[in-house]
Amino acid sequence: MVTDIDGLVADLSRAEKLALVCGTNDPDGTATGYLPGVPRLDVPPFRLVDGPLGIRAEGERATAFPATLATAATFDPDLAREQGAAMGREARAHDQHSLLAPGVNIVRVPHCGRNFEYLSEDPVLASAFSRALVDGIESENVVATVKHFVANNQETHRTTVSADVDERTLRELYLPPFRAAVEAGVGSVMTAYNRVNGTHMSDHAHLVGDVLKDEWGFSGYVVSDWYGLETTVGAANAGLDLEMPGVPSGPDDEDEEFEWPDGIPDGSHAGLFGEPLAAAIDDGSVPADRLDDMVRRVLGQMARIGLFADSRPDGELDSQRHRDLARDISTRGTVLLDNDGVLPLADDTDVALIGPHIHEAKLGGGGSSETTPFHSVSPVDGLTERAGGTVATARGIPEIESVSLFDLLPFVDSGHENDASSAPDGDPSLDDAVAAAEAADVAVVLARDATTEARDRDSLALPGQQDELVEAVAAANDRTVVVLRSGGPVETPWRDDVAAVVEQWYPGQADGAALASVLYGDSDPGGRLPVTFAPEGSYLTSDERRFPGEDDVARYDEGVFVGYRHFDSGDDEPTYPFGHGHSYATFEYGDATVVGDATVELSVRNVADRPGRDVVQAYVRPPAVDGIDRPVREFAAAQSVALDPGETGTVTLELDELAFSRYDEGWTVDSGQYRVEVGRSSSDVRATVDLDR
């Protein structure tokens, strides 16, 4: 077994070293990225694979977990750690060594087509889940790859746009989830396509070299996003270690003219860490020891996960515990936004299940996170199996067209099913939907958006005729429940006309089973919003200068006032605030007390006659400091707690130091009195306590 990495690097020829920093095609055709190894020195091949919602090995199947945003909605990092470990085991089962996950970019733009892969608009919550997912993946001897470093907050012009953002905002908002991943022992960091303050991230010496490697002490390798390497000399000297994929792609016909769509990197721009790197070393533009450092970092991660050992533990694929975990995360991440008492459903309720996609599981959004499961449960199947009453169905309107990164590349076959449908033949009818609603005790309307990597949403309105469908059904049945399946915030213009609104995100393979469990009250809706839902025009990024930007520059001049921080500081009211979500139970909060330097404790009692789950949240209000503009409050901690009827639990909240800190040429905590607000959302405070710092 190889233990002397320095000695191995010394034994490698330069050609062999170059082959370890520039990807090539996988002869088995399953890996997303591939390094061939060095047989002469018993260096094995190294395989990198998508993705954040489950393993996307080409042509293979795996557990399709809910969208990462749904995982974050649980406010329970322990569940995320379990998911990371499960994905690590499944990566091993597919003979993959590095998992290209998690995605931890802050949700700045509600229209972003990739928000479903991310965690939150808040850096403390995103950091907690970044740390947990990385810890879970790495615990199974698989290299986690945190992405996309950094300020990749939109898909529009993502390969060219410059995020113009000040240092304070980077430090307080966008960098913390990446630093948390480094602290958790992440083996790899992927650079983003975009520029930051004019410099492409693959060439960004300050952020990659100075901050990530020198300041944070990151010892793993930095990999480009696919075809995201811009220069040879700039990237190598900035600190990028591995080019992926390193071989060009494009139409099979070399004479065919192909214009790469916006948001898709030019696949012909590859191989910059091959011969061009050798030439740069020869002419002194890149030091020879930089190549040795690149190779040492890659080999170090290979050794750390046991690739040089005689054997590796077997993986685990589609096991019962993975199926159960996918279902648990989906139910725990489901958010009950509104409820006038119609939920949970009684067992004998006659239900009309309505919507254009009720016959298919909503597995995820489009792009590199698409996962093909061994099996999935549609909403129709899930509710039919659970219901004691009848379940009538009607599609009502035409289906919503799915979108995917792969649809934009006619020469690429993703090899994956997105949402498998068993819808009956025949045209849908709005009249049929209304008739079904009129005949039922309760009407359940399933509505969805359509998001993908490489494209942002044009609008936060539900696509197609779904708003019209909801309004027609609500007019026919005043006990209408709307279930949203979205990759982020959506508009809900009909919310005052329906009896309940549920946010299920992209629930993955357990879709219908998880939905039935929540609607019938077998599981409490344990999710809370990790993002703010608000009218489209009230977000600060509704300003074109900020999104999508002008002249390829997106100005982040809102600073740290993203999401709830913006809504707290102005007159705009959110539709549903950050942290919001109802339980089927009712909880009473006791007084909060400070039990340590930054720890708050209180009691919570379930006063309902049924079990329930609450998510107790803490926010910190800083003292006023002349000349310093800070958010009104900052999220600092949360604990998800399940309580039986009449049960009282003690909740201990360890407040994250980031909520007290601000950055001004270095980190500082202002002296003074901080008020800690404890409650059920950013706008629902149940207890307060002061502490001095």
Catalytic residue IDs: 225
- Distance, in Å, from the CA atom of 134 to the CA atom of 250, rounded to the nearest integer, reads 33
- Amino acid residing at 692: D
Query: Quick check: 428 and 465 in contact, CB under 8 A?
Result: no
For 383, the enclosing helix (H) or strand (E) is helix 379-386
Can you tell me the distance from the alpha carbon of 612 to that of 578, in angstroms, rounded to the nearest whole number? 20
Cα 165 to Cα 172, 173, 250, 628: the distances in Å are 12, 11, 34, 18
User: Strand, coil or helix: what is 331?
Assistant: helix
Question: For strand 143-149 and strand 188-191, is the pairing parallel, antiparallel, or unpaired?
Answer: parallel
Using the structure block, give the residue that is written with the tokens 């004998």: 348
Joined tokens for residue 277: 């790197």
Question: How far is C-alpha 284 from the geometric centre of its chain's CA atoms?
Answer: 41
Q: How far apart are CA 471 and CA 487, in angstroms?
A: 22
Taking alpha carbons only, the member of 178, 204, 184, 180 closest to residue 193 is 204
Token pair listed for 529:
């919003």
CA distances from 99 to 71, 376, 485 (A): 17, 23, 26
Tell me which residue of 459, 460, 458, 428 sits closest to 445, measured CA to CA.
Answer: 428
> What is the crossing angle of helices 123-138 and 176-183, to 10°?
30
Task: List the helix and strand counts (H, then E) for the chain.
Answer: 16, 26
What the block records as the tokens of 659 is: 């909520």
Q: With the C-alpha atoms ordered 106, 107, 113, 115, is the resulting torsion angle positive or negative?
A: positive
Is residue 482 helix, strand or coil? strand
**In the β-sheet with 162-164, what is the strand arrangement from edge to edge?**
199-200, 195-196, 162-164, 553-555
Quickly tell me which residue has 């993203």 as its tokens: 562
Q: Exposed, middle or buried: residue 64 (CB in 10 Å: 0-12, 13-18, 19+)? A: buried
Cis peptide before 102 (omega within 30 of 0): yes
Strand 500-503 to 480-485 pairing: parallel
Task: Report the chain's terminal Cα–Cα distance, integer Å.
Answer: 51
Cβ-based neighbour number of residue 195 at 10 Å: 23
CA 171 to chain centre: 20
Place of tokens 């390829």: 552
